[in-house]
Structure 1
Amino acid sequence: MPVPTTPIGRVLVTGGASGLGAAVVDAVLEAGGTPIVLDLRVEGVADGVDAVAVDVTDTAATEQAVRDAAERHGGLDAVVTAAGIDKPAPIGGLSATDWEQIVGVNLLGTAAVVRAALPTLEENHGRVVTIASSLALRGVGDGTAYSASKFGVRGFSQALAAETAGKVGVTNVIPAGMRTNFFADRTEQYKPGPDALLIEPSYVANVVLFALAQPAGCEIREVSVMPATEPSWP
Structure 2
Amino acid sequence: MSLENKVVYITGGTKGIGYGMAKVLLNAGMRVAISGRSLETAEKAAKELGDTSKVLGLASDVAKLADEQAAVSKILDTFGQLDVVLANAGVGNFAPIDEMTEDAWHQMINTNLNGVFHTLKASVEALKASKGYYITIASLAGTNFFANGAGYNASKFGVVGFTQAAMLDLRKYDIKVSTIMPGSVASHFNDHTPSESDAWKIQPEDIGQMVVDLLNMHPRTLPSKIEVRPTRPDKK
Q: For the superposition of Structure 1 and Structure 2, which TM-score range results when normalised by the shorter chain? A: 0.7 to 0.9
Report Cα offsets for 1:115-156 as digits up to 9, x if no partner: 111101011110011111011111111111111111111001
* Counterpart contact for 2:43–2:57, Cα < 8 Å: no
The aligned residue for residue 190 of structure 1 is: none
CA distance in 2, matches of 1:66, 1:92: 39
The aligned residue for residue 46 of structure 1 is: 46
The aligned residue for residue 9 of structure 2 is: 12
Calculate percent identity across the aligned residue pairs.
28
Give the TM-score, by structure 2 length: 0.87
The aligned residue for residue 72 of structure 2 is: 66
TM-aligned CA distance change 1:195 to 1:124, over 3 Å = closer
Specify which structure has the higher proportion of helix: 2
Where 1:161 maps in the other structure, the secondary structure is helix
Report Cα offsets for 1:135-178 as digits up to 9, x if no partner: 11111111111111111110011101101114200111010011
TM-aligned CA distance change 1:33 to 1:79, over 3 Å = same
Which segments of structure 1 move beyond 4 Å, counting only runs of 4 or more?
194-197
CA distance in 1, matches of 2:200, 2:109: 26
* Alignment map for 1:127-206 (pairs within 5 Å): 127-166=133-172, 167-184=174-191, 198-206=201-209
The offset of 1:200, in angstroms, is 1.1
1:126 aligns with 2:132: yes
The aligned residue for residue 116 of structure 1 is: 122
Report Cα offsets for 1:88-110 as digits up to 9, x if no partner: 11112221111111111111111
What's the RMSD between the two structures over aligned residues? 2.2
Q: Which residues of structure 2 form unaligned runs of 5+? A: none
* Number of positions where the alignment pairs a residue of Structure 1 with one of Structure 2: 222
